[in-house]
Amino acid sequence: MEQFKLFDAEFKFMCIVWEAEPLTTRRLTELCRERLGWKRTTTYTVLRKLSDRGILQNEHSTVSSIVKREQVQKYESEVIVEKAFDGSLPKFIATFLNDKTLSDDEAEEMKRLIDRHKEGKR
């Protein structure tokens, strides 16, 4: 599971890949220069590190993800709930919604999600 841990710069880099994949290494360096202000060498260093960790693949100068955005989001959200809320999803939701309001559609969507994920209902 630790494989899905990304530092902030790596996550921003991966967002570029996820949005444009598959993409050439040349196009990736252009996008990283435009969006992140990175030099070509920085892009290639991060690309190599993420490839070595099994998060990306770079075959014949074409980059694509092995780990999908949803996998990283799931990992990160589980870490936050565990670390900051002692693993309690209700505590997390209560804190998150503390000063927010939900539209009727959002409330209904949340109810559907809860119903779908109740024990014995999957």
Residues 56 and 94 in one domain: no
CA 31, chain centre distance (Å): 18
Mean pLDDT lowest among 5-9, 11-15, 111-115, 118-122: 118-122
Q: Are 64 and 17 in contact (CB under 8 A)?
A: yes
pTM value?
0.79
Residues 62 and 93 in one domain: no
Domain that holds residue 102: 89-122
Residue 75 lies in a domain: no
- Per-residue pLDDT of 63-119, as tens digits, reads 999 999 999 999 999 999 999 999 998 899 989 888 889 899 999 999 998 898 887
